[in-house]
Amino acid sequence: MAPNKNNVKHNKLDSFFKTLQKNDILPGLVLIYGEPYLVKQAFKTTSSFLVGNNNMQFAMETLEGGSVSMGDIIEQVSTFSFLVPQKIVAVKNAPLFQTQQGSQYINFSPSDLDRLIEFIQKGIPLNHFLILTVTRIDKRKKIYKAIADKGLIVDCSVPTGARKTDMDEQRTVLQNVAGQILSKSGKTIDNQAFHALVDLTGFNLDLLSQNLEKLVAYSGKSRTISTADVKTVIIRDKKDPIFNLTNAFMAKDIKNALFYLNSLFNEGFHPLQILKSFENQIRKLILVKCFTRQFYQTNKNVSLKKINFNSFKQVVLPQITAHDKQTKTAIEGQDKYLSRESSKKKKGKVNDLFLAPNPQNAYPVFQVFQKSENFSLNELSQSLFFLSDLDYRLKSSSFDAKTAIESFIINICSKGGFVYAEKNQNHRHRF
């Protein structure tokens, strides 16, 4: 078995272990990445295969990534166990490919990763195993190539796009997870009931699992879970906040954006509330794009799309802070002038014009700047024209607002750019 070919999809992991011959030696390093629920299941399958359920409590050492140093990890893997011959060190959410938010976390530096690569290349002690779990990977990184060369990689990723092939794979994963859960209780779910359940949960495997357990208990002696069962038992315990919609929109994730939009309408949100959230987000993105256009003129070698969090704090954030300081000075000067002209001084929401209202909490700023790269300044300007027209129509006539907003999401999040103003010159009411 060639180690550099040990790349297994999550749904093939059981058969992979079953086909291992007695003389085959499983690599001492395992990287599991992708959808969190599938990662947890793959982790259970892998660890059970390595040591068996009986020895798990003695053989397993679980560490939380972001709160443990590289030195501690290597020391734990290198230390022999007195109780069982096998030893597993599991590092969950290991910060190998992306930085963790917050100063309380330990982020692996380049020297940390070089140290891990050296440890991997020297070889992990026999019957010792290091399992690393992450959400995302970067195949360009040296650490990934080192793991791919010496270890086993379990791919638990699921495409999140809105293409038919992506949605078909998501549906297959949902069906497989549901089948695994229901088979344990000897139950099935009819097709209509399954569709109703998915409509309530979306692509959320943890929530799907929890809801199926409820349905298994509720259905009692019945062998089949019906649509009536789903409608009776499953409710959306927590309403989707509107920022889930804007986050999906900023990521150009059409599928989730449409899902959250439908959820908000079902929960009784008024179209103007949703429209205002889009307008606020787009105005913020326009401010960011105006800044980045100037930023790129003097920082041509920097890519805000690819920059990591630490580099962002060192290179970009100081310039953002300086920009906000200039903005504040300009606003204060304007307010001072207006206060002389009027006895009543009006204070606007100054923070709305700042790129980083709270520089100490830089990670949300970093995320907005990265996601702003998904849009052009022209697309954002066109969006404001559209939203202003839609706002006017909502206040002056009756029409299907949900369909109009769905069309807006699909158009601006699709490839090819969003064009509106030129095609609707006679319908612009506010600009």
> How confident is the prediction along the chain (431 residues), in pLDDT tens digits per residue?
344 457 899 989 988 888 875 556 678 899 999 999 999 999 999 988 887 765 666 778 888 887 788 999 999 898 887 777 788 899 998 888 865 444 445 678 889 999 999 999 998 888 899 999 998 888 889 999 999 998 999 999 998 766 677 778 888 999 999 999 999 889 999 889 998 888 777 788 888 888 898 898 888 888 999 998 888 887 654 455 677 888 888 888 888 888 888 878 877 788 888 888 888 888 889 998 888 888 888 887 878 878 888 888 888 888 888 888 888 888 877 777 677 655 444 444 456 678 887 777 778 888 888 888 888 888 888 888 888 888 888 887 777 888 888 888 888 887 766 665 455 555 544 43
Report the phi/psi class of residue 306: left, alpha or beta, with left for phi > 0 and alpha for psi in -120 to 50.
Answer: alpha
From the number of C-beta atoms within 10 Å of its C-beta (0-12, 13-18, 19+), residue 267 rates as exposed
The count of structural domains within the chain is 3
Answer yes or no: do 49 and 77 share one domain. Answer: yes
Answer yes or no: do 372 and 318 share one domain. Answer: yes
Establish if 73 belongs to a structural domain: yes
Asked whether the CA dihedral 113, 117, 122, 127 is positive or negative, the reply is: positive
Three-state SS for 90-151 is EEECCCCCCCCCCCCCCCCCHHHHHHHHHHHHHCCCCCEEEEEEECCCCCCCHHHHHHHHHC
**In what side-by-side order are the strands of the sheet with 29-34?**
7-9, 152-156, 29-34, 128-134, 87-92, 60-64
- The range of the structural domain enclosing residue 221 comes to 164-233
Answer yes or no: do 168 and 118 share one domain. Answer: no
Both tokens assigned to 285: 């993105």
| Spatial contact of 68 and 106, defined as CB atoms under 8 Å apart | yes
Domain boundary among 214, 233, 252: 233
| Spatial contact of 211 and 201, defined as CB atoms under 8 Å apart | yes
Establish if 409 belongs to a structural domain: yes
Establish if 263 belongs to a structural domain: no
Answer yes or no: do 205 and 138 share one domain. Answer: no
Both tokens assigned to 411: 């158009």
Establish if 241 belongs to a structural domain: no
Both tokens assigned to 101: 């938010």
Answer yes or no: do 12 and 131 share one domain. Answer: yes
- The angle subtended at Cα 346 by Cα 340 and Cα 347, nearest 5°, is 120
The pLDDT score that the predictor gives to residue 103 is 42
The pLDDT score that the predictor gives to residue 155 is 94
The pLDDT score that the predictor gives to residue 399 is 76
The pLDDT score that the predictor gives to residue 198 is 85
Answer yes or no: do 76 and 13 share one domain. Answer: yes
Answer yes or no: do 190 and 126 share one domain. Answer: no
Establish if 238 belongs to a structural domain: no
Establish if 244 belongs to a structural domain: no
CATH of the domain at 214: 1.10.8.60
Establish if 110 belongs to a structural domain: yes
CATH of the domain at 78: 3.40.50.300
Distance (Å, whole) CA 324 – CA 330:
10
Answer yes or no: do 82 and 137 share one domain. Answer: yes
Answer yes or no: do 86 and 187 share one domain. Answer: no
Domain boundary among 134, 156, 178: 156
| Spatial contact of 372 and 288, defined as CB atoms under 8 Å apart | yes
Domain boundary among 123, 156, 189: 156
Answer yes or no: do 29 and 90 share one domain. Answer: yes
Nearest to 381 by CA among 354, 421, 350: 421
| Spatial contact of 79 and 92, defined as CB atoms under 8 Å apart | no
Answer yes or no: do 152 and 180 share one domain. Answer: no
Answer yes or no: do 277 and 421 share one domain. Answer: yes
Distance (Å, whole) CA 176 – CA 11:
9
